[in-house]
């Protein structure tokens, strides 16, 4: 939507093994600033693993991940520093249960980025307002619904002012009626030009939010296309098959 | 390092005597575990009976062992019962009595826990298959109960072996006592004996207890549901 | 049975003194065990090479040997290699050697109960390992560990009954001496049981209250 032509992140030939099993078989992907990439694929295709590699939660065994003239696949990576620029939102929210909503959001800005409290609080409040949860700032996570928790988790990632946010099936644990409120937040971010890589099973959402669809199967990128083209006229048989299954699910 | 001391362990029949002493403690634990298990199974069954006073009494019985140290109970029996009843109870008998009663309380609690945690639908699905209540017990309830109980029971056995070391304090001739005798006899010839003898007894206990706790942990992991 | 009340009243100060010894000993040993347990469990959590294996070996040694034998070794054995400690120091060292492993296990299971994904969530906002422990893991782990830490504290308090074996004038020895000197068996033993009841029962009740609280007030994510 707001592509800038500036290359932000480049994944080259990334390989990942769990023991003997190869789960990523040479992934190539280029992400421009402001671009929204949606990764689709059957479960076990390696899409979540790829996301976790981009955040350093899983080491890779081959290839390169280039970001700001650094290779994140190398040995000497300062992940602490990098994770401030590459945010991540998890399927199960993973808010810290012993902290209030505001404390959850402020932990990174204050302790990792060492920012001024007043300034960080101000940003946190603005972001909370934007997701409609300003009045819950002093609540504990257990007092919130799943959808609310996930919106807070997004705010927590946003408040670090990252370059990219990775979304790992963020609606998969939600009750159906709460999916919408979370997706709306992400759509809003896309409109503002946030660079995002989104792993999801929500086809309609993928279609409307994505600049590009990346279809993965068995540890490989099978197809990469603009959403309209991918959903109306998929090029590969595997993608057709995948989309057919989802058609079935709708019946 | 103390030299010319470790030989004391192998002088004469010292080595065999120490092992014999260890056997006394193991015997006491073993006999107590057996008696405790038999009594404990009854007690565990009784604790699931729907009678508040009965459950309360049995609960208090368990708490008596959980709150008052075992050594205190050993002293109570050792010092009071024999003169009072005018019968001479040996240290071993005292120990077996106290450890059996303690074992009954703890095994009872393990049995109660296993029975109460047994899911109802297991019984129901067994009945649905047309099993008689005897078959139900034999094929469904007992195997599952054993899985729930065995790790805790082995754990208790380890604790009991460790606790039997206390019986030296009520005059039982066991491994520590024999160790003391060896040390006293060798006071002049082997002045460093106490280092080696107590070090050796330390290792002996470890060799008995470590396999037991390994076993208990393995069962725990294997049967974790 | 007729109890000699005069004797009981006269003996009370002796028991009081011994209880004070027990309480002092238990408090010091529990505090040191907690420190040891916290440090050791963190070493295990960070998988510090070498150190972790030593701690694991220590845990097995400590948990699979009786306190009495540990104390005898410390009190009678170690002086032969030039390490002399007073009875009280021996008791503190012995009980800390024992309690440290129990406390380590309690902290460790609390730390393990904090989910892996909580760690990843902390990492994903750039927390360092130390910050992760301080802000994410320990606050949650401590809350989870409290019941087992409390149970261990009670266990250690009861284990103090063994230190009489190395000539400390504790409750056991007071009772034994009174029986030996005055033949007031029933009175001495009654006071002994009561003394432990007074020491342990309130803690035991407190612990079961805490356990119920914790079970009902779990954080929930």
Do A and B make contact via 3 or more CB pairs under 8 A? The reply is: no
Nearest-CA distance C64 → chain B (Å): 5
Most C CBs within 10 Å, among B26, B65, B69, to test the C interface: B69
Nearest-CA distance C112 → chain A (Å): 16
Q: d(Cα B168, Cα B22) in Å, to the nearest integer?
A: 11
Nearest CA in chain A to C131: A111
Q: d(Cα C73, Cα C87) in Å, to the nearest integer?
A: 12
Q: Which residues of A touch C127 (CB under 8 A)?
A: 80, 107-108, 111-112
Length of chain A: 251
Structure tokens given for A54: 């981009």
Nearest-CA distance C18 → chain A (Å): 42
State phi, psi for A8 to the nearest 5 degrees: -100, -45
Chains near A, with 3+ CB pairs < 8 A? C
Q: d(Cα C108, Cα C112) in Å, to the nearest integer?
A: 6
SS3 A39: strand
Chains near C, with 3+ CB pairs < 8 A? A, B
Q: Which CATH architecture has domain C5-214?
A: Orthogonal Bundle (1.10)
B209 Cβ under 8 Å from any chain C Cβ: yes
Given an 8 Å threshold on Cβ–Cβ distance, is C66 in contact with B195?
no
Given an 8 Å threshold on Cβ–Cβ distance, is B83 in contact with C193?
no
Q: d(Cα A115, Cα C36) in Å, to the nearest integer?
A: 35
Is the Cα torsion angle A89, A95, A101, A107 positive or negative in sign?
negative
Is it the case that residue B3 has pLDDT exceeding 60?
no
Residue pair A22/A15 in contact by the 8 Å Cβ criterion: yes
Count CB pairs under 8 A between chains B and C: 111
Residue pair C2/C187 in contact by the 8 Å Cβ criterion: no
Q: Which of B63, B196, B201 sits opposite C69 (nearest CB)?
A: B201
Q: How many CB atoms lie within 10 A of CB A44?
A: 12
Count CB pairs under 8 A between chains A and C: 79
Q: What is the mean pLDDT of the segment spanning B39-51?
A: 89
ipTM confidence: 0.89
Residue pair C219/A98 in contact by the 8 Å Cβ criterion: yes
Given an 8 Å threshold on Cβ–Cβ distance, is A87 in contact with C125?
yes
Nearest CA in chain C to A150: C221
Output the pLDDT for position C220.
45
The mean predicted confidence, pLDDT, of chain A is 91
Nearest CA in chain C to B199: C73
Given an 8 Å threshold on Cβ–Cβ distance, is C125 in contact with A107?
yes
Most C CBs within 10 Å, among B8, B183, B202, to test the C interface: B202
Given an 8 Å threshold on Cβ–Cβ distance, is C77 in contact with B206?
no
Output the pLDDT for position B1.
46
Output the pLDDT for position C221.
39
Output the pLDDT for position A1.
47
Output the pLDDT for position C124.
92
Q: Which of A88, A95, A97 sits opposite C124 (nearest CB)?
A: A88
The mean predicted confidence, pLDDT, of chain B is 86
Beta strand pairing status for A7-18 and A21-32?
antiparallel
The confidence band for B89, taking pLDDT boundaries of 50, 70 and 90, is: confident
Percent helix, strand and coil across chain B, each to the nearest 5: 80, 0, 20
Parts of chain C with a pLDDT under 70: 1, 215-221
* Count of domains for chain A: 1
**Locus of tokens 């300003």:** A134
Nearest-CA distance C94 → chain A (Å): 36
Domains of chain B: which residue ranges? 6-222
List the one residue out of A54, A73, A48 whose CA is nearest residue A63. A73
Nearest-CA distance C49 → chain B (Å): 23
Given an 8 Å threshold on Cβ–Cβ distance, is C221 in contact with A142?
yes
List the one residue out of C161, C149, C158, C163 whose CA is nearest residue C110. C149
Nearest-CA distance B12 → chain C (Å): 21
List the one residue out of A29, A33, A38 whose CA is nearest residue A72. A29
Output the pLDDT for position A2.
52
State phi, psi for A20 to the nearest 5 degrees: -90, -15
Distances (CA, A) of C140 to A187, C151, C205: 34, 19, 24
Domains of chain C: which residue ranges? 5-214
Q: d(Cα A87, Cα A156) in Å, to the nearest integer?
A: 9
Q: What is the mean pLDDT of the segment spanning B111-127?
A: 81
Q: Is residue A193 situated within a structural domain?
A: yes
Residue pair B98/B74 in contact by the 8 Å Cβ criterion: yes
Q: Which CATH architecture has domain B6-222?
A: Orthogonal Bundle (1.10)
Structure tokens given for A148: 């609310």
SS3 A137: coil
B85 Cβ under 8 Å from any chain C Cβ: no
Q: Which of A82, A90, A142 sits opposite C121 (nearest CB)?
A: A90
Q: d(Cα C131, Cα C136) in Å, to the nearest integer?
A: 8
The CATH number of residue A160's host domain is 3.40.50.300
Structure tokens given for C209: 């209250």
Percent of all residues in chain B with a pLDDT value above 90, rounded to a whole number:
46
Beta strand pairing status for A7-18 and A62-67?
antiparallel
Residue pair B208/C69 in contact by the 8 Å Cβ criterion: no
Nearest CA in chain B to C78: B195
Distances (CA, A) of B113 to B109, C80, C148: 6, 48, 18
Cβ neighbourhood burial of B55 (10 Å; 0-12, 13-18, 19+): middle
Distances (CA, A) of B175 to B170, B209, C80, C159: 13, 15, 20, 20
Given an 8 Å threshold on Cβ–Cβ distance, is B209 in contact with C64?
yes
A12 Cβ under 8 Å from any chain C Cβ: no
B216 Cβ under 8 Å from any chain C Cβ: no
Residues of the domain holding A187: 7-250
| pLDDT tens column, C11-62 | 899 999 999 999 999 999 999 999 999 999 999 999 899 999 999 999 999 9
Percent of all residues in chain B with a pLDDT value above 70, rounded to a whole number:
93
State phi, psi for A30 to the nearest 5 degrees: -120, 135
């Amino acid at each position: 939507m707001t592509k800038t032509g500036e290359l932000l992140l480049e994944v080259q030939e990334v390989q990942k093994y769990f023991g003997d099993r190869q789960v990523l078989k040479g992934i190539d992907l280029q992400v421009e600033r402001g671009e929204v990439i949606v990764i689709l694929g059957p479960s076990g295709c390696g899409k979540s693993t790829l996301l976790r590699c981009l955040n350093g939660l899983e080491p890779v065994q081959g290839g390169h991940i280039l970001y700001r003239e650094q290779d994140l696949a190398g040995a000497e990576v300062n992940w602490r520093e990098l994770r401030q620029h590459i945010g991540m939102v998890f399927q199960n929210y993973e808010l810290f249960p012993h902290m209030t909503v505001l404390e959850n959001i402020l932990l990174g800005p204050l302790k990792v980025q060492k920012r001024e409290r007043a300034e960080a609080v101000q940003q946190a409040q603005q972001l909370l307002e934007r997701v409609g949860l300003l009045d819950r700032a002093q609540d504990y996570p257990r007092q919130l619904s799943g959808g609310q928790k996930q919106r807070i988790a997004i705010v927590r990632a946003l408040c670090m002012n990252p370059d990219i946010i990775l979304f790992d099936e963020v609606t998969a644990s939600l009750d159906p009626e709460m999916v919408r409120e979370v997706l709306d937040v992400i759509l809003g971010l896309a409109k503002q030009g946030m660079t995002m890589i989104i792993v999801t099973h929500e086809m309609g959402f993928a279609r409307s939010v994505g600049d590009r669809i990346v279809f993965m199967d068995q540890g490989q990128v099978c197809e990469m296309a603009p959403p309209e083209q991918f959903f109306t006229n998929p090029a590969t048989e595997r993608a057709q098959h995948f989309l057919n299954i989802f058609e079935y699910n709708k019946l | 390092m103390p030299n010319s001391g470790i030989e004391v362990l192998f002088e004469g029949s010292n080595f065999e005597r120490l092992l014999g002493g260890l056997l006394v403690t193991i015997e006491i634990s073993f006999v107590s575990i057996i008696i405790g298990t038999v009594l404990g199974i009854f007690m565990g069954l009784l604790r699931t009976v729907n009678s508040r006073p009965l459950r309360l009494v049995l609960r208090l019985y368990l708490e008596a062992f959980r709150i008052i140290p075992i050594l205190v109970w050993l002293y109570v029996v050792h010092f009071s019962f024999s003169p009072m009843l005018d019968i001479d109870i040996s240290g071993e008998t005292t120990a077996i009595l106290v450890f059996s009663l303690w074992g009954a309380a703890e095994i009872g609690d393990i049995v109660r826990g296993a029975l109460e945690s047994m899911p109802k639908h297991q019984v129901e699905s067994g009945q649905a298959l047309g099993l008689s209540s005897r078959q139900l017990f034999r094929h469904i309830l007992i195997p599952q109960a054993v899985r729930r109980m065995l790790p805790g029971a082995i754990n208790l056995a380890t604790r009991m072996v460790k606790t039997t070391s206390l019986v030296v304090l009520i005059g039982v001739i066991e491994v520590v006592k024999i160790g003391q005798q060896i040390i006293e006899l060798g006071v002049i010839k082997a002045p460093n004996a106490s280092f080696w003898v107590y070090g050796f007894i330390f290792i002996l206990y470890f060799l008995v207890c470590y396999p037991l706790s390994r076993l208990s942990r393995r069962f725990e992991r294997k049967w974790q549901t | 049975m007729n109890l000699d009340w005069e004797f009981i009243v006269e003996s009370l100060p002796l028991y009081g003194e011994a209880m004070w010894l027990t309480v002092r000993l238990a408090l010091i040993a529990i505090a040191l065990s907690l420190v040891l347990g916290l440090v050791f469990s963190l070493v295990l959590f960070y998988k510090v090479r070498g150190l972790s294996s030593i701690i694991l070996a220590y845990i097995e040694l400590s948990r699979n040997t009786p306190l009495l034998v540990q104390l005898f070794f410390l009190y009678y054995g170690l002086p032969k290699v030039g390490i002399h400690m007073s009875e009280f120091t021996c008791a503190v060292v012995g009980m800390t050697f024992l309690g440290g492993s129990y406390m380590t296990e309690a902290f460790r299971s609390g730390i393990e109960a904090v989910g892996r994904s909580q760690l990843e969530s902390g990492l994903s906002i750039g927390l360092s390992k130390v910050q992760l422990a301080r802000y994410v893991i320990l606050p949650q782990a401590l809350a989870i560990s409290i019941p087992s830490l409390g149970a261990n504290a009670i266990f250690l308090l009861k284990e103090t009954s063994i230190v009489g074996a190395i000539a400390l004038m504790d409750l056991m020895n007071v009772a034994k001496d009174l029986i030996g000197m005055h033949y007031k068996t029933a009175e001495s033993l009654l006071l002994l049981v009561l003394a432990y009841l007074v020491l342990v029962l309130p803690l035991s009740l407190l612990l079961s209250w805490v356990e119920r609280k914790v079970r009902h007030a779990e954080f929930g994510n």
